[in-house]
Each structure stands twice: as C-alpha cells, then as structure tokens.
Amino acid sequence: MSTSDDGCRPGICRRDALRQTLAAAAPLALPALGLAADPPPAAPRQFERKIKVGLIGCGGRGAWIGKLFAEHGGYVMHAVADYFPSVADRFGESVGIDKSRRFSGLSGYQKAIASGVEALILETPPYFFPEHAQAAVAAGLYVYMAKPVAVDVPGCLAIEAAGKLATQKQRCFRVDYQMPTDPINIEVRNRIVAGGLGKIAFMASFGFTNGFADPPKTANIESRLQSLVWVNDVALGCDYIGNYDIHAIDAALWIAGQRPTSAAGASRICRPDPHGDSRDVCSVVYEFADGLVLNHTGQALKNNADGLLMCQVFGDKANAQVNYWGKAFVRGGEQHYGGGSINELYAEGAKRNIAAFYDDVTAGRCENPTVQRAVDGCLTTILGREAAARHVRLTMQELLSENRRLEVDLRGLAH
C-alpha cells in the first residue's frame, strides 16, 4: 500500500494512530509525551440581537453573499428583490423568505425597503448602486454593498453624500473589499506605513482575469442584467478596470493614503466577437500629489494568465507586496517580514466584513471609513478608464469638473 508525502498511509497517520492509542489507554499521559490534547470546539456565538436584512440582487454573488449573511447567525433574511422573479424566488426559497416578501422588477428594491428591513445588502450591477443606496439611507437603513460603488462621477459623489448622511443618522454603511481584511496584508501595510520601505518610490498593481461572456445584444438590456454579462458594458459595470482591477487599485490607495491627481495610459478591446464596450486590456500610469507613481496593468482574456490581483510597493530600502492570491510580504529593510500566502480571501474576507458590519451596527459605530476609500478607489478607476480610452493625460480635477453621467436605456424593462 502506498504512503503519502508525510509518511502516512491514506487515511492513517502514525502520529494520529499513536494519539488514538494513547488517548484510549492513558489520556492523562498525553501532556508528558508532548502530544497536547485537541482543544474542544468553540461554542457557537450567541446573538442577542437579530438584524433584519433585505438582499437586492441575488444572482451568482448576490445569492452567495446572502447565504453567508444567513449563516452568520446575527441576521434574519427578511426580504429579497431581483429584477428577475424566478431568481428572487429561488433565493427566497433557499433561505426561507416568505413569498410575500420576494420582489422583482426595477422597483423591487423600493418594496424591500418598505417591507420592514433594518439593512439592505446591495449586489446589483453597479449602475444601480447610487439610486439604491441613497433610498436606503433616506429610509434610515444600514447599508452593505459590493464594489464598485458607481460607474461615473455623479454616482461616486452620490455614494459619498449617502455615506456622510448615514453617519449623521447613526447608520452603518460598509463597502465589501476583502484585501484590507486579511491579517497578513494588514501587517504588511502597517510596516509600509511605519516607514519599513524607506521613501516609497513607486507602486505597481495588476488585475488579470479570464473575462466574462459577452453575447450579442437583444431588443433591450434585460439580457445584459445577469450572469455578469453587464461587466462588458461600461455604463452598467464600470469597465473591467472598475469592476475587477479595482481590488488591486483599492489596495494601492489603502497603502498610499491618498487618491491620485492624474492618469495617462492606453486601453483596447481584444476579446473575440465583443458586443459590449468595456476594454479588456489596459495600461495606466497614475501620479499622486507627492510625486508617487502607480503603474497599473489589467487584462481580461482567456489566455491562462488569470488570477493575478496584487499591489507591489517599492521603496528606497525595501519592497513589499499585498495580494488577493499568493504571497504577501515585506522584503528587506528594518521591518523585513516573511509574511505568508493569502488563502481563501474571496470567502474569508466577505465573512470578516459581514461580521464587522454586525458588530458595527450593534455597537453603534457609524464612522463608516470604508465609504470614502471606496469612492476614491472608484474615482481612480474611472480616471484611469477615461484617460486610457482617450489616450490623454487627464487630471482628477478635470474628471470631477466634467461630472459626466453615463446613461442606460431602461426602456422595455419590467418595473
């Protein structure tokens, strides 16, 4: 019979066998042999308060994040809304939401707000986020939302205002970014901020993914509202740099503590038979007020180069890396840190954010620091998107002054 790499037969390890034998014959002898008994499993956390939440948008990630809320223990899934009735029913059935609180159509979010929820989870195409977030805050609800927070400058400014109003109303508003929740990434960032790299010379960020299906358009945009097809449409999804690469760019701003003042670059569409206008290849150089430079590269092509989502930081004494997948570290200098591999961040980061949202709500912590950084990150991706598409150097002030709104034709859709 073959053995595994650790010297154990399949299903049987010598150390495990020894532990089991000793545990059965003489449990009190374990400490003397250096074989500590396994700790008892932690008791499930008891939640005195249950927060009633409504989920807006319950397709792929929406349904997944909604189930994480349901599994947390501190939430009650009270209402659901999705443009498609069958999607709302499927998720509602899976978590026990009564049919009377499953809503559909473009106005479904309004019915969810009126259903008696305390908080809204927003997981729709980003074009709809500003409208939904503003309505939720106006109604006195807590807000938990995905990224990017908008697709254009007016939308970003609307989210910024909604976040400030939420704080004034003592309501929590959290944007779900995962990289800044990882303990290793946090340690790396803390060492960078403490001067561990010396003077920061430049940063480099990367967003490589496989892209998403981009089928032919139909009579109206209904077919673009599901299965992440909307990522291919700038006005619905904020372009690939805004929808995917934004994780790495958010990490860069988290480290830099500021948003850039200008951008220049180039972008193009390379996927075969495209139907949306999102650019799947981009190269952008951002400049910051203090001279810092950020080089960003993104691609969304089915060329086996996916799964790269990171930010590298280079100082005059050392360098560092924060990551979504793979290693994070500080290399060299007085604060050298071997770091480690970032694992399961997609799920673990979301769980940490869901837990933090609950704790903020129940503790009344409403400073809402994730909102401003999410707005800055979204504006940064829009700046890069526009500079690269126009092949010009564009300043943040010029972008804000333009204040250009992207419109989506909603004719023919169910309300």
Q: Are residues 203 and 276 in the same domain?
A: yes
Domain contains 349? no
What is the domain-level CATH number for residue 226? Answer: 3.30.360.10
Task: State CA 370 to chain mean position distance.
Answer: 11
**In this structure, are 390 and 288 located in the same domain?**
yes
Asked whether residue 16 is domain-assigned, the answer is no
Which residue, among 315, 345, 358, has the nearest Cα to 177 in the 3D structure?
A: 345
Q: Looking at residues 272-286, what average pLDDT do you find?
A: 97
Q: Could you count the other beta carbons within 10 Å of the beta carbon of residue 390?
A: 13
268 within domain boundaries: yes
CA 269 vs CA 3, 206, 222, 266, 341: distances in Å: 50, 17, 23, 11, 33
In a domain, 146, yes or no: yes
Secondary structure of 251-305 as H, E, C letters: HHHHHHCCCCCEEEEEEECCCCCCCCCCCCEEEEEEECCCCCEEEEEEEECCCCC
Looking at residue 21, what is its pLDDT? Answer: 33
Selected residue with higher pLDDT from 21 and 186: 186
12 versus 358: the higher-pLDDT residue is 358
Using the predicted structure, report yes or no on whether residue 266 has a pLDDT greater than 50: yes
> Has residue 79 been placed in a domain?
yes
**What is the average pLDDT value for the chain, to the nearest integer?**
91
In a domain, 2, yes or no: no
**Is residue 35 a part of any domain in this protein?**
no
Sign of the Cα pseudo-torsion (331, 337, 341, 343, in order): negative
The verdict on 197 and 326 lying in the same domain is yes
Q: Which of 175, 191, 222 is the last residue of a domain?
A: 175
- For residue 33, what pLDDT band results from cuts at 50, 70 and 90? very low
d(CA 328, CA 312): 9
Q: What is the pLDDT of residue 39?
A: 62
> What's 66's domain CATH number?
3.40.50.720
* Sheet architecture: strand order including 281-287: 337-342, 326-331, 319-323, 308-315, 200-209, 293-300, 281-287, 262-268, 394-395
Q: Is residue 139 domain-shared with residue 201, that is, in the same domain?
A: no
The DSSP call for residue 30 is T
Question: What's the rounded mean pLDDT across residues 224-238?
Answer: 97
Cβ atoms of 297 and 282 within 8 Å: the answer is yes
Task: Find all residues with CB under 8 Å of 242, minimum gap 6, and list them.
Answer: 126, 148, 151, 378, 381, 382, 385
Please identify, among 115, 142, 175, the residue that sits at the C-terminal boundary of a domain.
175
Q: Give the residue numbers spanning the domain of 101.
A: 51-175
| Residue 217 and residue 166 in one domain | no
Read off the pLDDT of each residue in 113-125 and give the average, rounded to a whole number: 98
Taking only the tens place, the pLDDT of each residue in 40-63 is 666 667 788 999 999 999 999 999
At 142, give phi and psi (nearest 5°): -80, 155
pLDDT in tens, 139-150: 999 999 999 999
Instruction: Give yes or no: residues 163 and 194 share one domain.
Output: no
From 175, 191, 220, give the residue that closes a domain: 175
In a domain, 215, yes or no: yes
Instruction: Count how many domains the chain has.
Output: 2
Percent residues over pLDDT 90 in the chain = 87
C-alpha–C-alpha distance, residues 265 and 133, integer Å: 32
pLDDT of residue 116: 97
Same domain, 203 and 122: no
Q: Is residue 240 domain-shared with residue 123, that is, in the same domain?
A: no
Per the CB < 8 A criterion, the answer to whether 319 and 337 are in contact is no
pLDDT band at 28 (very low <50, low <70, confident <90, very high): very low
pLDDT in tens, 282-296: 999 999 999 999 999
Residue 321 has pLDDT above 60, yes or no: yes
Residue 341 has pLDDT above 90, yes or no: yes
Residue 74: pLDDT over 50: yes
- Is residue 296 within 8 A of residue 288, CB to CB? The reply is no
More confident residue, 1 or 390: 390
Cα–chain-centroid distance for residue 127? Answer: 16
Task: Verify that 152 and 255 share a domain, yes or no.
Answer: no
pLDDT tens for residues 145-191? 999 999 999 999 999 999 999 999 999 999 999 999 999 999 999 99
